[in-house]
Amino acid sequence: MQNPNPEIQLAWIKTQLGLNATEVHFHALAGDASLRRYYRVRANGRSYIFADASAEPGVTQTFAHCAKIFSEAGARVPHLLAWDNELGYSLQEDVGDRQLLPLLTDQSVDIYYLGAMQMLSQVARATTRAIELPAYNARRLRTELDVCEEWFIRGLLGMEPSAEFQKAQGDLDERLIDSALAQAQVLVHRDFHSRNLMVTDTELVAIDFQDAVIGPVTYDLVSLLKDCYCAWPRVKVEAWVETFYDGLGDSLKPATVGEFLRDFDLMGLQRHIKVLGVFARLYLRDGKPGYLPDLPRVIAYIEETLMRYRESEPSVAEFFGRWTEQIRPAFEHCVWYTSCE
C-alpha cells in the first residue's frame, strides 16, 4: 500500500473548503479494520473528517452512494461535504470521538440500544425497490462462511479439517443460508455495532456503512445485540429482540417472536463463523493483532447458539459434535484464548 501524499491531500482539502494553506491543520486518527486512513481537519474554527481511501479503488463512490441511501431511509449518518472517487478522497461532517462502546454500562445500555433499534426499524421500513445495492445472496453468504476454514481453522489454528467436519460445516452452511434468505430482505448496514455508532449530544450516528447490502432483517440487529466487542446476558438480549420485533411491520417478520428469535440466532451464527475468519485474516495477512482478544467472545457466541439449537436443528447438532471433537481442542491452549464463561 502506497503511503499517502500530504501535499496532494492538503491541496484537495483546501480546494474543497476554499482556504489558503495557512488556514488548514489536519492530523491522522486511529485506523480501523480497513485500508482507509482518516484525518481530523481544522479550518476557520470548524472541524471536518477527511478520509483517504486511495488504497481501495471505488470505495469512495460506494460510500457516497450509501450515505445518500441511508440518509434518505431515515438513518443519521455523517453529512458528506465533498468526494472524489478517482483520488479516493472524501470530506465529511465531524461527528466527534465518542464511540458507543466505552459508554455502554448496565445502566446506560437500554437507552442507547433503544435508540439504535429505532434507527434500524426506520431503515427496515424503507422500500428497497429503487435501491441499487448488492443482494446478500447465497453466493455472498457462502463465501463469507468459507473465510472461517481458510483463515481461522487452516491459517490461525494450523490444522487440516477432516472430511467429516467439512461435511458437517457444509450442511450447517446450507441451513444458515436458507434461514437468511427466507427472512424479509431490507437495507442492511452489515457492521452495525458499538464501534460504528458515534454518540453526539443528541443522537446516535452510524458510520462505516459502505459495505451495505439488501439482506436479512435480523442481520444488523444481531450485529448490535451480539456485538463482537461486548456481550450482554441472554435475558436482556431476548427482551431487546422482542422489543424490535414488536416495532416491525407484519410484512417484515414471521408470525411469532419465537420464530424471529430463531432467525436472529441463526443469523448470528453465520456472522460469527465469518468473523472468526475475518479476525484471523486481519492478524495473519494484515498484521493487525488487535482483534485476537475478541476471538474468545465470538467463540462464546457460536458455542452458545450451537448448544441452544442442537436438539432442534440436526445440522447444528452434527456441527457441534465435530466442533467439540476437532476444533475446540485446537484453540483451547492458544495464547489468545480465554474462556468467556
- For the cut 50, the answer to whether the pLDDT of residue 295 exceeds it is yes
> Considering the chain, what is the average pLDDT of its residues?
93
Is the Cβ–Cβ distance between 314 and 306 less than 8 Å? no
Q: Using the CB atoms, write b or e for 302-323: b if 16+ within 10 Å.
A: bbbbbebbbeebebbebbbebb
The predicted-structure confidence for 20-73, as pLDDT tens digits, reads as follows: 656 788 888 876 656 778 899 998 888 999 999 888 888 899 999 999 999 999
Q: Which three cell numbers mark 254?
A: 414471521
Edge to edge, what strands does the sheet with 80-84 contain?
A: 24-28, 37-43, 46-52, 89-93, 80-84
Check residue 20 and give its pLDDT: 64
- For the cut 50, the answer to whether the pLDDT of residue 335 exceeds it is yes
Check residue 227 and give its pLDDT: 99
Taken in order of first residue, the domains within the chain and their CATH numbers are: 6-93 (3.30.200.20), 101-331 (3.90.1200.10)
Residue type, 91: L
Q: pTM score, two decimals?
A: 0.93
Dist CA 255 CA 87 (whole Å): 49
Share of the chain above pLDDT 70, in %: 96
Check residue 126 and give its pLDDT: 87
Residues 6+ apart with CB under 8 A from 36: 51, 52, 53, 55, 56, 59
**What value does the mean pLDDT take over residues 217-233?**
99
Question: Cell numbers 448490535 correspond to what residue?
Answer: 224
Share of the chain above pLDDT 90, in %: 80
Q: Which three cell numbers mark 85?
A: 472517487
- For the cut 50, the answer to whether the pLDDT of residue 1 exceeds it is no
**What value does the mean pLDDT take over residues 140-153?**
98
Check residue 34 and give its pLDDT: 62
- Comparing 17 with 120, which gets the higher pLDDT? 120
209: left (phi over 0), alpha (psi -120 to 50) or beta: alpha
Question: Where is average pLDDT lowest: 198-202, 249-253, 261-265, 310-314?
Answer: 198-202
